[in-house]
């Protein structure tokens, strides 16, 4: 499998936000296979100290989310540093040869872009050769395939666990891409 679905949770909707959590899963969009998963929480204060953004409207939005979602984003085990967390994410992605990796998200202009900025912000701490580990042409967008297969919505995938838990969201999005690919294949060959 060469595809990874990724999701993040953040403290702002602006580019350059504090990234609270990263969730990812290796999957095959052409079947129902789901592979290894990855989840990590990153230290917020370290990011704030380097200029990452926090939005009051996003904080208010988080207050309205479920206890389970807030606990996943703000409590429990956390990487001891942002660089350590990003290093672990890089190693997870490097299980797939770089030229074959396709990185999916529900909006690369947000998820992927936020992580690229975070890698750039912590480039000194990450060390030489530890930049954003994804090729320029690897990004894939869930929203496009969702709207092509199910323009009215209603993708037939079971509930996704805890909404706004980065790993649960990534797994649901991977399952949704699989459902969309199946529908598009059937539509192309009736």
pLDDT digits (tens, 9 = 90+) for 80-90: 999 999 999 99
Residue 148: how many other CB atoms lie within 10 Å: 12
> 139: which 2 tokens?
């990004």
CA 105 from chain center: how many Å?
6
117 φ/ψ angles, rounded to the nearest 5 degrees: -65, -40
Give the chain's mean pLDDT: 95
Query: For residue 113, is it left (φ>0), alpha (ψ between -120 and 50) or beta?
Result: alpha
- Give yes or no for a contact between 4 and 102, defined as CB atoms under 8 angstroms apart: yes
pLDDT for the residue numbered 189:
67
Whole-number Å distance between alpha carbons of 142 and 140 = 7
- Give yes or no for a contact between 103 and 139, defined as CB atoms under 8 angstroms apart: yes
Each residue of 140-178: pLDDT tens digit?
999 999 999 999 999 999 877 899 999 999 999 999 999
Whole-number Å distance between alpha carbons of 104 and 37 = 14
Whether residue 76 is predicted with pLDDT greater than 90 in this model: the reply is no
Whether residue 190 is predicted with pLDDT greater than 80 in this model: the reply is no
**What average pLDDT does range 107-128 have in this prediction?**
96
- Give yes or no for a contact between 23 and 39, defined as CB atoms under 8 angstroms apart: yes
pLDDT for the residue numbered 167:
97
């Amino acid at each position: 499998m060469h595809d990874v679905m990724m999701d993040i949770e953040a403290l702002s909707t602006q580019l350059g936000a504090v990234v609270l959590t990263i969730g990812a899963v290796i999957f095959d969009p052409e079947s129902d296979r789901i592979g290894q998963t990855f989840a990590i929480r990153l230290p917020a204060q370290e990011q704030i100290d380097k200029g990452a953004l926090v939005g009051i409207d996003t904080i208010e939005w988080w207050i309205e989310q479920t206890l389970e979602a807030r606990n996943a984003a703000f409590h429990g085990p956390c990487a001891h540093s942002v660089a350590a967390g990003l290093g672990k994410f890089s190693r997870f992605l490097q299980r797939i040869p770089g030229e074959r990796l396709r990185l999916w998200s529900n909006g690369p202009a947000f998820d992927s872009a936020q992580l690229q900025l975070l890698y750039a912000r912590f480039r000194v701490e990450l060390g030489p050769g530890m930049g954003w580990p994804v090729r320029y042409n690897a990004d894939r967008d869930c929203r496009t395939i969702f709207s092509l297969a199910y323009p009215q919505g209603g993708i037939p995938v079971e509930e996704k666990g805890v909404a706004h838990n980065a790993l649960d969201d990534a797994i649901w999005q991977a399952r949704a891409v699989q459902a969309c690919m199946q529908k598009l294949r059937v539509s192309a060959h009736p």
